[in-house]
């Protein structure tokens, strides 16, 4: 298990609170392989959720922008 990669995931995870991040970073050296793999899987799953959320926001922003453009194009 690549602990460096997992450490990065923990550090960058947007789902974790700062406290949780601190906890996992502290615990990583003492966790066994199975626990490390489980954490990696959970954080990967979490990444998908946050990514989805960001993409959703992005699409909504485009949608709003498109609406605004349409309103601008309509003759008064």
Compute the least distance from the CB of residue 66 to other proteins, in Å: 19
Alpha carbons 10 and 39: distance in angstroms, whole number: 9
Burial of 15 from C-beta contacts in 10 A (0-12 / 13-18 / 19+): middle
Q: Nearer to other proteins by C-beta: 48 or 75?
A: 48
Compute the least distance from the CB of residue 35 to other proteins, in Å: 6
Long-range pairs for 26-35: beta carbons < 8 A, 24 or more residues apart = 28/3, 29/3, 33/1
Q: Nearer to other proteins by C-beta: 5 or 51?
A: 51
Residues that bind other proteins (CB under 8 A): 15-16, 20, 23, 27, 30-32, 35, 38-39, 42, 44-49, 51-53, 55-56
Q: Nearer to other proteins by C-beta: 10 or 72?
A: 10
């Amino acid at each position: 298990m690549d602990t460096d990669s997992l450490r990065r995931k923990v550090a960058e995870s947007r789902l974790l609170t700062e406290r949780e991040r601190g906890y996992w970073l502290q615990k990583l050296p003492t966790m066994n392989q199975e626990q490390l793999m489980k954490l990696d899987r959970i954080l990967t799953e979490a990444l998908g959720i946050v990514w989805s959320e960001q993409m959703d926001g992005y699409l909504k922003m485009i949608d709003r922008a498109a609406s605004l453009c349409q309103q601008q194009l309509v003759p008064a």
